[in-house]
């Protein structure tokens, strides 16, 4: 198999001591043990050891300096967003992305630039939703406010959640291993629908096990970060969702094969309370105030509920002109306030068209739109 690599690498095997080598790129793009046919279990294991090393010569994934640099940048962003973070140690092995396609049958999730196993932000959010919805009995309003609409909801009812979930990355290069599973499934997946009562088909411990090697993380330390998306989410709510994350990782586990004990994580004792101490020493400013006027509260609620497929301008205009749910029974002062905010937004964007301007085409349509907004505000340009 010809590969676009230097001959010294293409003709040999990777050195486990290669500094900063992107093992994910090697795993995903340069599988070489085909031999003209699908690789057998031994070939798969032999090739995986070029990625993870062996029991006698284990290797680490990623570069420590790059991981530290990325962790520092991510933490700075989370602090700017007034978010929280926690560090967790794996209780046992961890694996994610096994459903991804690969010649060895089981894929693996690699960070695209850092070359380390990780848990994407969407997976972190999904883990928390599963825990809160199916195990912790959270009410629907909290799920909607924190996590947004569920996938099965109708498109017109979609709402973005109030939190941003960051990718969970190891703080240090983790050690990889070649793990193995031995399912006793016989030919159940192949013929179970046709011959469900055949002893050679029904799953059972009398079948010869089929060894299937797969890549996993032996041990790692991950940092999880969550930050508020909207200004009305206060620090107490951020701390509350971090508690939900701690319970989800401790009871359910993250990634694949959690039913077999993979992916369970516990808070690292060395960094416990680090986030709380930081915010205690550096209290966040501009916290949502309880003394906001009814007008300001309504405007913030409108902004928070802006659908993903609409601009803020179109959303506010539709609410004003068509009496959306938020403004359906609103006081006239609130409508005037929202209209004023909309005009201010349009003026800053350069899309406000005065009534005295001579315009045509699309600008004429926008002028009529501005006239309706102006009628609500009761302001006449001089």
Domain edges within the chain: 15-281, 294-377
For the segment 292-335, what is each residue's pLDDT rounded down to a tens digit?
788 888 887 787 777 767 788 888 888 887 755 566 666 788 88
- pLDDT confidence of residue 17: 46
Residue 358 buriedness (CB in 10 A; 0-12 / 13-18 / 19+): exposed
- pLDDT confidence of residue 19: 58
d(CA 324, CA 318): 7
> Which residues, including other chains, have CB under 8 Å from residue 190's CB and lie 6 or more apart?
201
| Segments of the chain with pLDDT less than 70 | 1-20, 33-36, 153-157, 186, 285-291, 308, 323-330, 379-382
For the segment 339-353, what is each residue's pLDDT rounded down to a tens digit?
888 888 888 777 888
Q: E strands within the chain?
A: 84-90, 163-165, 169-170, 175-181, 212-219, 221-228, 265-267
Flag whether the pTM goes above 0.75.
no
Q: Among 30, 48, 44, 170, which Cα is nearest to 111's?
A: 170
d(CA 178, CA 56): 12
Look at residue 348 and give its three-state secondary structure.
helix
Q: How far is CA 163 from the centre of its chain?
A: 11
Helix (H) or strand (E) holding 51, with range, is helix 41-52
């Amino acid at each position: 198999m010809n590969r676009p690599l230097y001959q010294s690498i293409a003709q040999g095997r990777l050195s486990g001591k290669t500094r900063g080598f992107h093992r994910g790129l090697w795993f995903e793009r340069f599988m070489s043990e085909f031999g003209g046919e699908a690789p057998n279990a031994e070939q798969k294991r032999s090739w995986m050891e070029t990625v993870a090393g062996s029991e006698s010569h284990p290797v680490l994934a990623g570069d420590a300096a790059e991981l530290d640099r990325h962790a520092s940048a991510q933490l700075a962003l989370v602090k700017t967003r007034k978010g929280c973070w926690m560090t967790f140690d794996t209780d046992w092995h961890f694996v994610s992305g096994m459903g991804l396609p690969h010649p060895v049958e089981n894929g693996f999730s690699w960070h695209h630039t850092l070359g380390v196993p990780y848990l994407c932000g969407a997976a972190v959010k999904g883990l928390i939703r599963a825990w809160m919805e199916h195990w912790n009995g959270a009410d629907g309003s909290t799920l909607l406010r924190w996590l947004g609409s569920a996938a099965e909801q109708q498109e017109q009812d979609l709402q973005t959640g109030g939190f941003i979930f960051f990718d969970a990355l190891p703080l240090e290069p983790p050690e990889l291993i070649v793990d193995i599973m031995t399912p006793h499934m016989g030919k159940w997946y192949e013929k179970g629908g046709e011959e469900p009562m055949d002893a050679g088909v029904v799953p059972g411990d009398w079948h010869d096990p089929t060894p299937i090697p797969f890549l996993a993380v032996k041990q790692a330390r991950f940092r999880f970060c969550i930050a508020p998306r909207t200004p009305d989410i206060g620090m107490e709510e951020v701390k509350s969702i971090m508690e939900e994350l701690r319970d989800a990782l401790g009871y359910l586990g993250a990634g694949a094969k959690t039913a077999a004990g993979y992916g369970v994580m516990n808070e690292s004792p060395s960094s416990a309370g680090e986030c709380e101490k930081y915010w205690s020493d550096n209290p966040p400013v501009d916290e949502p105030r309880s003394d906001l006027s009814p007008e300001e509260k309504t405007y913030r609620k409108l902004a928070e509920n802006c659908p993903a497929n609409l601009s803020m301008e179109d959303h506010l205009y539709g609410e004003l002109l068509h009496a959306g749910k938020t403004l359906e029974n609103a006081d006239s002062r609130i409508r005037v306030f929202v209209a004023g905010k909309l005009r201010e937004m349009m003026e800053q964007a350069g899309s406000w068209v005065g009534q005295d301007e001579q315009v045509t085409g699309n600008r004429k349509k926008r002028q009529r739109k501005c006239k309706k907004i102006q009628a609500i505000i009761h302001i006449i340009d001089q």
